[in-house]
């Protein structure tokens, strides 16, 4: 039992970080029906930025979120303006897959050229510190990572529910045509949302680099996890992404401890498939909100 509880703690802490990455992906999908498969690569790009700030300028990786997030927001806005906005018409969703995949490969190639393929880790002095809470070991960096993720997800939630911009975003998600008719500037909403989605990846990337070693190819594993999370959570639902990410963290961690690490990653997919058989729209997804592209 002790092992299961410890595994659940670990799973929740790491699930929080995945939730932050996935929130950006699902937000962008909700608004513009674009599946940004470069989200994993953007996480890794941010991990490298934070790593560089730490190793050259001794900027604490958690403080570097304050630098990396706005910088990547600007990058996200630029990517949306240059690559994504020009995709129009019925195939826009399919084309966006190709465009963002090309972006992912471009980022991977550029990172390989600059940093080589050696695994890197951002290792601040407190990396190895942990607390003993009722006999359970809780790593400091994981708690900080979870706290940073929770804080940013909270801010995102406030932005979406308490501001005029947030109302415009939610209106666009629910009914883009009606939102435009009522005066919402959909281009602006799409561009800013894409930037926000990328900045969520950025913050998560800074945290990721402290917890796990990474190299430019790490994004393949990440994007497969993130896509699974947003599908389980319900495409377009941030709450669903959070619930799904936590589920993934806990299932993987408990299976690794109680059954075998070989089954850990696969076990989440079993949960995903089983859940989707019962509820195809995901945890919080609305059956009617998803219109297959081209239909």
Interacting residues toward other proteins by CB under 8 A: 2-3, 6-7, 10, 14, 112, 116-119, 121, 123, 127-130, 132, 137, 139, 211-213, 217, 221, 252-254, 256-257, 260-262, 264-265
Instruction: Please choose, from the candidates 8, 44, 91, 13, the residue with its C-alpha nearest in 3D space to the C-alpha of residue 226.
Output: 44
> Nearest distance from residue 14's CB to other proteins, in Å?
7
> Nearest distance from residue 91's CB to other proteins, in Å?
33
d(CA 63, CA 154): 18
> Nearest distance from residue 121's CB to other proteins, in Å?
7
Of the two residues 163 and 260, which places its CB atom closer to other proteins in the complex? 260
> Nearest distance from residue 238's CB to other proteins, in Å?
24
Residue 214 three-state SS: strand
Of the two residues 130 and 289, which places its CB atom closer to other proteins in the complex? 130
Backbone phi, then psi, for 99, in 5-degree steps?
-65, -45
- DSSP3 helix / strand / coil % (the chain, rounded to 5): 75, 5, 20
Structure-block tokens of residue 229: 């999370």
Q: DSSP assignment, residue 17?
A: H
> Nearest distance from residue 101's CB to other proteins, in Å?
20
User: If 0-12 CB within 10 Å is exposed, 13-18 middle and 19+ buried, where does residue 49 land?
Assistant: buried
d(CA 230, CA 36): 11
> Nearest distance from residue 211's CB to other proteins, in Å?
8
Of the two residues 230 and 254, which places its CB atom closer to other proteins in the complex? 254
Of the two residues 156 and 201, which places its CB atom closer to other proteins in the complex? 201
Of the two residues 132 and 164, which places its CB atom closer to other proteins in the complex? 132
Cβ neighbors of 156 (< 8 A, separation 6 or more) are: 23, 27, 196, 200, 238
d(CA 163, CA 166): 5
Backbone phi, then psi, for 107, in 5-degree steps?
-65, -45
Of the two residues 19 and 79, which places its CB atom closer to other proteins in the complex? 19
Give bridge partners of residue 131 from the DSSP assignment.
138
Whether the Cβ atoms of residue 47 and residue 122 lie closer than 8 Å to each other: yes
> Nearest distance from residue 53's CB to other proteins, in Å?
18
Of the two residues 81 and 138, which places its CB atom closer to other proteins in the complex? 138
Give bridge partners of residue 132 from the DSSP assignment.
137
């Amino acid at each position: 039992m002790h092992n299961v509880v410890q595994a659940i703690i670990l799973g929740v802490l790491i699930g929080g970080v995945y939730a932050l990455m996935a929130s950006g992906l699902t937000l962008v999908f909700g608004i513009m029906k674009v599946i940004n498969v470069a989200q994993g690569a953007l996480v890794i790009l941010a991990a490298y930025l934070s790593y560089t700030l730490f190793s050259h300028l001794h900027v604490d990786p958690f403080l570097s979120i304050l630098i990396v997030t706005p910088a990547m927001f600007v990058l996200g806005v630029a990517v949306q303006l240059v690559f994504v906005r020009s995709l129009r018409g019925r195939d826009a969703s399919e084309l966006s897959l190709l465009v963002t995949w090309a972006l992912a490969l471009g980022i991977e190639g550029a990172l390989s050229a600059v940093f080589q393929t050696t695994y890197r880790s951002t290792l601040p002095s407190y990396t190895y510190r942990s607390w003993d809470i009722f006999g359970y070991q809780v790593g400091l960096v994981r708690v900080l990572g979870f706290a940073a993720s929770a804080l940013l997800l909270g801010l995102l939630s406030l932005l979406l529910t308490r501001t005029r911009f947030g109302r415009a975003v939610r209106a666009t998600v629910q009914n883009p045509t009606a939102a435009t008719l009522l005066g919402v500037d959909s281009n602006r909403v799409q561009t800013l949302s894409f930037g926000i989605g990328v900045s969520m990846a950025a913050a998560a990337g800074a945290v990721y680099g402290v917890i796990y070693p990474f190299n430019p190819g790490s994004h393949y594993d990440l994007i497969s996890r993130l896509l699974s999370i947003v599908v389980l959570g319900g495409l377009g639902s941030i709450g669903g992404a959070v619930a799904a990410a936590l589920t993934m963290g806990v299932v993987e961690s408990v299976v690794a401890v109680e059954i075998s690490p070989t089954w850990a990653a696969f076990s989440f997919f079993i949960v995903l498939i089983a859940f989707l058989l019962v509820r195809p729209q995901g945890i919080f997804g609305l059956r009617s909100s998803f219109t297959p592209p081209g239909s």
